[in-house]
Amino acid sequence: MDKLLSIFRPSTGSRELRRQPLFTGMSWLVLLFLYAPIAVLVVFSFNDNRSVVRWTEFSLRWYAAALENDDIRRSAMISIQVALSATVFSTIIATMAALATTRGGVYRGRSAAIALINQPLMIPEIVTAIATLAFFSILRQLTGVTGIGWLILAHTVFCVPFAYMPIRARLSDMSVTYEAAAADLYATPWQTFRHVTLPLLMPGVMAGAMLAFVVSLDDVIITLLVAGPGETTLPIYILGQIRRGVTPEVNAVSTILIGLTVTMVTLTFFLQRKRK
């Protein structure tokens, strides 16, 4: 009887996910469908032919054309301005929130505060964008204030949880021994934070800042609904150009964005692994 049951009882090795039937094949299939279109876009951004489906020869002419395009440069400057501003503000807010929820001890409402900070990650972005548009429309009517500040504020709020995650993870890994030693040496809370906590926390802060920058730079939905006249960011410009048909210039700009995003995400990954 035991021998019969052993036939149907899964072995230890079979419980490993990578040894499950079709797991490897399905993984490669998913990666193919995910990254093959990106690879095609990057390859044809170096195509000398204006056609985006027929290869002729290698050329950088479309990168030069994109860099000389005034609309692209204007959109890129707006994107960088919004992303940098949102990164600074969201990183500061996320750092304070991480300190409050990690070094503030156990208090009533702590779990609710963490859930509230991470709420934008669970709500569909289109819902967040519509709610932000409605709320900002009311504020604009009441205050009469217009300008790019509303777009920066929307990006800041949306980027806070993305900056918060690596900062809080870094704080959770940090021992309180050094901070306690600084307090024993009569250091004030500000001196302890400036000379002990912040230097140890800096890899997490940089990782959160870069992640927030990438999220803000690549955002489309919130920007599309909140941005006012003359506030066209680079992703919105690319979306508008695609509606007229994909061109080699769009491929070149998209490749630059992909390269920047991959670089920032890679740096974030290595910063998160840094422990000393």
Residue predicted with more confidence, 41 or 83: 83
Q: What six digits make up the tokens of 24?
A: 């490897």
Percent share of the chain, pLDDT over 90: 21
Q: Is the pLDDT assigned to residue 109 strictly greater than 90?
A: no
- SS3 for 107? coil
Cα gap 250→71, rounded to integer Å: 12
Do 66 and 195 contact (CB within 8 A), yes or no?
A: no
pLDDT in tens, 152-199: 999 999 999 999 999 998 888 888 888 888 888 888 888 888 888 888
Average pLDDT across the chain, whole number: 83
Distances 40 to 130, 232, 236 between C-alpha atoms, Å: 33, 27, 22
The vertex-154 CA angle with 120 and 69, nearest 5°, equals 120
Place of tokens 């870069």: 210
Mean pLDDT of 26-53: 84
CATH classification code of 65-273: 1.10.3720.10
pLDDT in tens, 214-224: 899 889 899 99
Tell me what pLDDT residue 151 has: 93
Question: Which residue ranges does the chain devote to CATH 1.10.3720.10?
Answer: 65-273
The segment with the largest mean pLDDT, out of 11-25, 71-85, 109-123, is: 71-85
Structure tokens at 259: 């390269």
pLDDT of residue 152: 94
Look at residue 5 in the predicted model and tell me its pLDDT: 42
Over the stretch 80-99, which tens digit does the pLDDT of each residue have? Answer: 999 999 999 999 999 999 99
Q: How many CA atoms lie within 13 A of 267 on its CB side?
A: 16
Amino acid at position 24, single letter: T
pTM for this model (two decimals): 0.80
Residue 57, pLDDT score: 84
Query: Which pLDDT score is estimated for 4?
Result: 39
